[in-house]
Structure 1
Amino acid sequence: MQGPSTPAMFVKPSSSLVGHGQPIRVKERYGRVHPEPELTVVIGTGGAELTIDEAPGHVFGYTIMNDLTSPTMRGDDTFHYRAIHPDPDDPNGIRYVDSWVSYPARYKGADTFGPLGPWVVTTDEVPDPHALRIQCRHDGRVVTDDNTGNLRFSVAEVVSFTSQYLTLEPGDVIAMGTALRASAKGGAVQNVDLVRLGGTVEVEIEGIGVLSNPVEHH
């Protein structure tokens, strides 16, 4: 499993949130859309600038996220520009730096993207969040078979890092990163194009449950 280089705080309007059993709505103009199975942390006690030792005490429990992604929209919303920076050799000068920018609002945050569920399991029921088998299935076929022990960063590190920039509030959720290890039969989540294939996608995490959502074309 490969977690993100920086933790991802998931924030969406409540009207667009989807839970277990509810449909994921996709449209042809989205292009390709694939699932991303992720362990998700639910904050119980708010706080800011938490140390790694303090961070676990602010976690209420865990749930599952299917962090749906459209690479097509990501490509459309990624662009090159020339950024203006101070010139390190001239305190009064500037320099131009070629940069790339990507806006995730559409390709990660379209309506019904990011289903959560089926429930929250409290920390006392999950002795070690870094020893959980995680699978992603499409129409019953196992696509991903991974383990949270492969996360790049620990829950404590991610919660602490996030709190350095965002004051955490009870009920906040933080996605830990996508499980990418292919199943024994091969395949990859990037090949499961839900716009083309439809069907039902499931994410199962040991000790937490199964998040299942049908796909609807609109």
Structure 2
Amino acid sequence: MKLVRYGTAGKEKPGMIDRAGVLRDLSSVVADIDSQTLVSEALAKLAKIDPRQLPQVDGHPRYGTPVARVGKMICVGMNYAEHAAETNAPVPQMPVLFMKATSAIMGPNDDVVIPQGSTKTDWEVELGVVIGDTARSVSVEDALSHVAGYLVVNDLSERDFQFEHGGQWVKGKSCDTFGPLGPWLVTRDEVPDPQNLGLWLEVNGHRYQNGHTRTMIFGVAQLVSHISRYMTLQPGDVISTGTPAGVGLGQKPPIYLRAGDVIELGIEGLGQQRQTVHAHPADGNAA
């Protein structure tokens, strides 16, 4: 299944994309795509629905984040060896974890706003993992059974804030609009192997990232197991699994986002995002 939330920001409705690519309204079935909807039992009930019996949504409504009220967003740093190399970081011996504030989360095609005073806003295409059933100290072998599905993440980052503002990556990762998710959540049954997905990102039509999840240092099952050792993963939590090489910081010389830039990114089978970059109003010259 492809589950979505559509409509104006803050008033999104639950939906489903049928096999013909048509948006269907799920409001008569579930109140929202949230923690209650994402557990295995609830998803199994949704899977029995014939989408053709659901109302068709006309037009081209905005897509919001596919998961409502994300409890926590855990990100994995340096999970592709080539990305670690381009940022002059050592290849980690165990997953590097940090948090992104949930206030950064937005829809897949909403505008990105460069933070006030920023000169080093960067892009990162990543595979997102959405937790379905509570995971607490789960084994690698059992880890994927706790996953509801997968989605596209743009883990936007302000590199100066990240590295030069006190040593905590969360400062450079949590700015407003720095967490586009979607366009939809693809349930686990439609992604038989999360380590077999191509992912890419372009800025103004130039492809900077062209990677594959098979080159992750730590795969999805390892990450879910590892993270669940340190914190309970709850339904609706999102894990952003790291980015391949090709970020702006890694260019020679580095290239960063500017007002007017257009970011496009996607993952095989999981859809695409498109964001227009705007300056912060306090900095003027907003696109």
Normalized against structure 2, the TM-score is what? 0.61
Are residue 29 (structure 1) and residue 91 (structure 2) matched? no
Assess, with a 3 A threshold, how the Cα gap between structure 1 residues 9 and 106 changes in structure 2: closer, same or farther.
closer
Aligned residue number for residue 127 of structure 2: 39
Q: Is 1:209 matched with 2:271? A: yes
After superposition, what is the alpha-carbon deviation per residue over 1:108-149, rounded to whole angstroms, capped at 9, x for unaligned? 111111211111111111121111111011112111111111
Letter of the structure 2 residue corresponding to residue 216 of structure 1: H
Q: Deviation per CA, 1:47-94: give whole Å up to 9, x if none.
A: 21101111110001100111111111123224xxxxxxxxxxxxxxxx
Range with bigger deviation, 58-67 or 19-28:
19-28
CA separation of 1:48/1:171 partners in 2, compared to 1, >3 Å: closer, same or farther?
same
Partner of residue 55 from structure 1, selected from 123, 132, 143: 143
State TM-score, norm by structure 1.
0.79
Aligned residues: 189
Alpha-carbon distance between aligned partners in 2 of 1:40 and 1:10, rounded to the nearest angstrom: 13
AA partner of residue 45 (structure 1)? D
Q: Which runs of 5+ in 2 are unaligned?
A: 1-78, 82-91, 281-287
Say if 2:177 is the partner of 1:112: yes
- Among the aligned pairs, what percent are the same residue? 35
Find the partner of 2:221 among 115, 136, 156: 156
- CA 1:22/1:181 → structure 2, altered by over 3 Å: closer, same or farther? closer
**Higher mean Cα deviation, 118-127 or 163-172?**
118-127
CA 1:138–1:166 in structure 2 vs 1: closer, same or farther (change >3 Å)? same
The equivalent residue for 1:193 is 256
Q: 1:13 to 1:27 in 2, by over 3 A?
A: closer
Distance in 1, Cα, partners of 2:189 & 2:115? 40
> Structure 1 residues 46, 190: CA separation in 2 closer, same or farther (over 3 Å shift)?
farther
1:163-195 CA-to-partner distances (Å, cap 9, x unmatched) read: 00110100000011111158xxxx84994411x
> Is the alpha carbon distance of 1:11 and 1:72 closer, same or farther for their aligned partners in structure 2, counting shifts above 3 Å?
closer
Tell me how far apart the structure 1 counterparts of residues 253 and 209 of structure 2 sit (CA, whole Å).
10
- The structure with the greater share of residues assigned to strand is 1
Q: Distance in 2 between matches of 1:152 and 1:181?
A: 17
SS in 2 for 1:60: strand
CA RMSD in angstroms, aligned pairs only = 2.3
> Relative to 1, partners in 2 of residues 1:13 and 1:148: Cα closer, same or farther, differing over 3 Å?
closer
1:203 and 1:161 map into 2 onto residues whose CA distance is: 28
Counterpart in the other structure of 1:89: none
Contact kept, 8 Å, 1:65 with 1:116, in 2: the verdict is yes
User: 8 Å contact 1:35–1:67 — kept in the other structure?
Assistant: yes
- Distance across 2 between alignment mates of 1:150 and 1:65: 17
Identify which of 81, 101, 114 aligns with 1:12: 101
Match for 2:199: what amino acid? I
**Pairing 1:121–2:197 present:** no
Q: Secondary structure at the match of 1:157?
A: helix
Pair 1:2-2:80 in alignment:
yes
Deviations 1:87-106 (A, max 9, x none): xxxxxxxxxxxxxxx11232
Q: Specify whether residues 189 and 39 from structure 1 end up closer, same or farther in structure 2 by C-alpha distance, changes over 3 A only.
A: farther
Aligned to 1:215, what secondary structure does the other structure show? strand
User: Which residue of structure 1 lines up, in the alignment, with residue 68 of structure 2?
Assistant: none
**Shift in Å at residue 212 of structure 1?**
1.5
The equivalences for 1:60-209 within 5 A come to 60-78=148-166, 102-180=167-245, 188=251, 191-194=254-257, 196=258, 198-209=260-271
Given that 1:144 and 1:189 are in contact with CA atoms closer than 8 Å, whether structure 2 keeps it comes out as no
